[in-house]
Structure 1
Amino acid sequence: MPHAPVTIFIIEDNALYSELLAYKLTQNPDYTVRQFSSAQACFQHLATEKPDMVTLDYSLPDGTGEQVLRQLQERLPNVPIIVISAQEDVNTAVGLLKQGAYDYFAKDAETPDRLWHSVLKVREQLALRRENQRLREQVGQKFDPKQAIIGNSQPIKELFTLIEKAARTGITVSVSGETGTGKELVAKAIHYRSVRQQQPFVAVNVTAIPRELLESELFGHEKGAFTGAVNRRIGRFEQAHGGTLFLDEIADLDLNLQAKLLRVLQERELTRVGGSKTISFDARLIVATHRNLEQEVKEGRFRQDLYYRLLGLPIVLPPLRERGTDVLLLADAFLRAFCAQNHLPPRQLSEAAKQQLLHHSFPGNVRELKAVVELAAVLAEDELIGPADLSLRNGSGGNGEIPADESLRQQIARIVQRYLDVHNGNILHVAQLLKIGKSTIYRMIQNNEVSVR
């Protein structure tokens, strides 16, 4: 990892000793060193330049080591400060380290070398922090809604407006829409456009975790809280502290856990399973469901008080069949990405194939479209994808309609079966192409939904 230049401030009233430290550090041409004979001289310079780290003499003419350290920490939060003292008092060193000093050295012949090695450690940490910042910025750009969410239809334009409004505040957001419409993508777009974008985005699918483990997953547990709890576990709420917690399929949360979630949201604090300590948290909440939560409340499956607590800013995602020609924009994007990832020649949809996609109802929405066009890219004999390559009905082409009584699960099984047939039953390869776990395919085989022929 390439290192950026490092600026180091030396605060030392002994001019000779200050020159000694500066001479040692400037052996590295990447280090810029500034020397100050007092704390006030350093504070005045902070108006024009900020350091990446500071060395601080414990005994200065205008303040004790503890006082100056505290003032520096207020002005330069997160900047490492190394205290250098003529004293070798252990209690002083311990006190300064507890106060937040990065390191403590006694002045002797080896101090310049110790400082050199300590600066190397700081530099490594600084490089990692800058790289992390760069990656977070890249993720933020990726989830710019107008780049991550593809479409020009009126419903999508209205969605962009709501995402921007949600991102400007910390209001709870409830996202609803049919399966496969991109609810998590919307949640990420909101998070990475908000002031919390540098903090964690933590996603939990309520239906993917066994009910008996979900409370521990959300709130954490203490060691020995239950059989198998051999260590303390930090829950998802704590993991999301400072950032955003996304709870997908919130309607499937059982009533007992709904009550606990309500209390946690009202108090903004939680208690780990098996623990007694109250832990405060600060996480923005975004929830999603493909069900009608209002109807769930009427039928007694969802608490009314929790419903109103979660409602916040409601965002309803349009199904793909209501997005007009967006289906072609999405299909083209999926085709280009799939062909590039799998080293296939570029593929294009024929006019007949485009018409077939435009007239298909897509009950599986964007997720179904992605699977259909990726399979078509594999099946096509040349660069032009025709209607026969689109697996929209019984594994073949056709008029684009699906049987009225066919479920999404049956459609997924049909697509998986087609991939297995084309790739001679190679389960691992099919799992990689479809981006699903091979255990999912094995489970489908066990349930007689697909077979290896």
Structure 2
Amino acid sequence: MKTILIVDDEQSIRESLKGILQDEGFRTLFAPNGEEGLNLVKEDNPDLVLLDIWMPGMDGLETLQRIREGHPEQLVIMMSGHGTIETAVKATKLGAYDFIEKPLSLEKVLLGVQNAMKIGQLVEENRSLRARLAKDYEMIGDSPAIRHLKEQISIAAPTSGWVLITGENGTGKELVARAIHHQSHRREKPFIEVNCAAIPEELIESELFGHEKGAFTGATAQRKGKFDQAHEGTLFLDEIGDMSLKTQAKVLRILQERKFERVGGHRTIEVDVRVIAATNKDLDEEIRTGNFREDLYYRLNVLPFHVPPLRHRIEDIPKLTHHFLEFFCSKESRETKSLTAEALDAMVSYSWPGNVRELKNIIERLAIMTPETIISERNLPVAITGRRQGAKGQGTPSAGQTFTFREAREEFEKDFLIQKLEENDWNVSRTAEAIEIERSNLHRKIKSFGIELKK
């Protein structure tokens, strides 16, 4: 049952509101002055406060100010029989949700209460959603590398410095970007993500800067770009190493001047954004080959972060495995499952070329496709168990074996292809697209390695 606190020095008003609100199913509390009202707000945390402005002692505006200082999200509707526009504006600036004039109208009171309750519900849902998203993007791990990364994030996040995150594919660069935003002073503002590699070259400018109506064929209306959308928040430019030199020059100008024009427009728009960029490429090498602007690199690389690959933080694999298994069993309405010690040892022994993303995908498959509640080593993909068997002397080199570099490379390549084929349900076309080689070339490798395709 929702609770409404009525703060008014007139007993007749309190009694009238009590009857109206209790008939509508609300629990009511009462206070004849601001001091008692403040105490009830602290003790009972009501869903809504109906607060009179003109009261002896502490008036309504001072009471409102004190409420907002201690309970900034408390919903308050002001009431007054001597209201002026100036008073209403002042109450709104202090944080009042609404202003109702006396004598009170039954319809106006109920409408104001219902609308305020809807706002309260939206605020609560938003808070719950933010908490759930924060959990979904939580950085899991206690290894020295991850502890150091978390410490660096806590130091850098509250500042306004631009950030450059490097690391292999699948290591969790987006998680680092979101953690920085979540711990920054911009956390209540938008976090806007742009995958620079996924947007066609001819559309990237429109995507970043927006466009005016008629700027090009198909531009039937004005559209805000990502920089606009991220105003006062954070803009995450993922895979920035894949951005063209032409677009890099425009991004550099925005970072320097903090203003831009939309495609096809002439009006200058000023923005306040914190830019976080990420890449899996070696930007020093990209600069040497002429594919990345050196001035943009130095502009972005104010606060550098490097996300370690999973093979450099194997202590985190058991915790990550448990976390993902619990998550996917819950998500897919499966009975809670666990791994045997042998299966977990196999997971730890594997090199994880696809990093945390690969681990997450495999755990999702195991959670869905394993009928038993205990996941054993035989349930794991052959790429993982084969690697362990090789360590015991059944394939890949062990201490007593001599392999040439070519043989070792071929053995690794075979294991990698088997793993990727499994991930794509043995579909050759999808696998070729995923690992970015020609389908015919993949067929030749499958045949040369003697890999038997499963149906």
- For the aligned pair, the TM-score class normalised by the smaller chain equals 0.7 to 0.9
Residue range with higher mean Cα deviation, 293-302 or 181-190? 293-302
2:77 counterpart of 1:54: yes
2:151 counterpart of 1:161: yes
Partner of 1:190: 180
Judged with a 3 Å threshold, the aligned counterparts in structure 2 of structure 1 residues 5 and 134 are, in CA distance, closer, same or farther, namely farther
1:359 shift after superposition: 3.6
Judged with a 3 Å threshold, the aligned counterparts in structure 2 of structure 1 residues 17 and 69 are, in CA distance, closer, same or farther, namely farther
One-letter amino acid of the counterpart of residue 369, structure 1: L
CA distance in 2: counterparts of 1:331 and 1:37, whole angstroms: 61
CA distance in 2: counterparts of 1:307 and 1:263, whole angstroms: 13
CA distance in 1: counterparts of 2:383 and 2:234, whole angstroms: 37
Judged with a 3 Å threshold, the aligned counterparts in structure 2 of structure 1 residues 113 and 345 are, in CA distance, closer, same or farther, namely closer
Which runs of structure 2 are paired with 1:285-434 in the superposition (5 Å)?
Answer: 285-342=275-332, 343=334, 346-351=337-342, 353-375=343-365, 378=369, 383-386=374-377, 389-392=380-383, 398-399=389-390, 403=410, 406=413, 410=417, 413-417=420-424, 419=425
CA distance in 2: counterparts of 1:256 and 1:271, whole angstroms: 15
- Kept in 2, the 8 Å contact 1:187–1:246? The answer is yes
How many residues in Structure 1 have an aligned counterpart in Structure 2?
A: 397
1:395 shift after superposition: 8.5
1:192 shift after superposition: 1.6
- Kept in 2, the 8 Å contact 1:200–1:244? The answer is yes
1:373 shift after superposition: 4.2
CA distance in 1: counterparts of 2:195 and 2:113, whole angstroms: 43
CA distance in 2: counterparts of 1:54 and 1:414, whole angstroms: 62
Give the gaps of 5 or more residues in structure 2: 29-48, 69-73, 397-408, 444-452
CA RMSD of aligned residues (A): 4.0
Partner of 1:5: 3
- Kept in 2, the 8 Å contact 1:6–1:123? The answer is no
- Kept in 2, the 8 Å contact 1:388–1:397? The answer is no
CA distance in 1: counterparts of 2:415 and 2:291, whole angstroms: 24
Provide the secondary structure at the position in 1 that maps to 2:350. Answer: coil
1:384 shift after superposition: 4.2
Q: Percent identity?
A: 34
- Kept in 1, the 8 Å contact 2:186–2:234? The answer is yes
Q: Deviation per CA, 1:104-135, whole angstroms, max 9, x where unpaired?
A: xxx8xx94423432432232123212321232
Judged with a 3 Å threshold, the aligned counterparts in structure 2 of structure 1 residues 409 and 262 are, in CA distance, closer, same or farther, namely farther
One-letter amino acid of the counterpart of residue 364, structure 1: G
- Kept in 2, the 8 Å contact 1:389–1:397? The answer is no
CA distance in 2: counterparts of 1:24 and 1:336, whole angstroms: 49
Give the gaps of 5 or more residues in structure 1: 86-106, 426-438
Judged with a 3 Å threshold, the aligned counterparts in structure 2 of structure 1 residues 237 and 178 are, in CA distance, closer, same or farther, namely same
Partner of 2:44: none
Partner of 1:258: 248
Judged with a 3 Å threshold, the aligned counterparts in structure 2 of structure 1 residues 441 and 45 are, in CA distance, closer, same or farther, namely same
1:43 shift after superposition: 2.2
Judged with a 3 Å threshold, the aligned counterparts in structure 2 of structure 1 residues 443 and 313 are, in CA distance, closer, same or farther, namely closer
Partner of 1:103: none
Partner of 1:43: 61
TM-score, length of structure 1 as denominator length: 0.74
1:396 shift after superposition: 8.7
Q: Deviation per CA, 1:273-332, whole angstroms, max 9, x where unpaired?
A: 122222222222211000111222222211111111111210111111211332333233
TM-score, length of structure 2 as denominator length: 0.73
Residue range with higher mean Cα deviation, 439-448 or 190-199? 439-448
- Kept in 2, the 8 Å contact 1:8–1:52? The answer is no
Judged with a 3 Å threshold, the aligned counterparts in structure 2 of structure 1 residues 245 and 5 are, in CA distance, closer, same or farther, namely farther
1:249 shift after superposition: 0.4
Residue range with higher mean Cα deviation, 303-312 or 325-334? 325-334
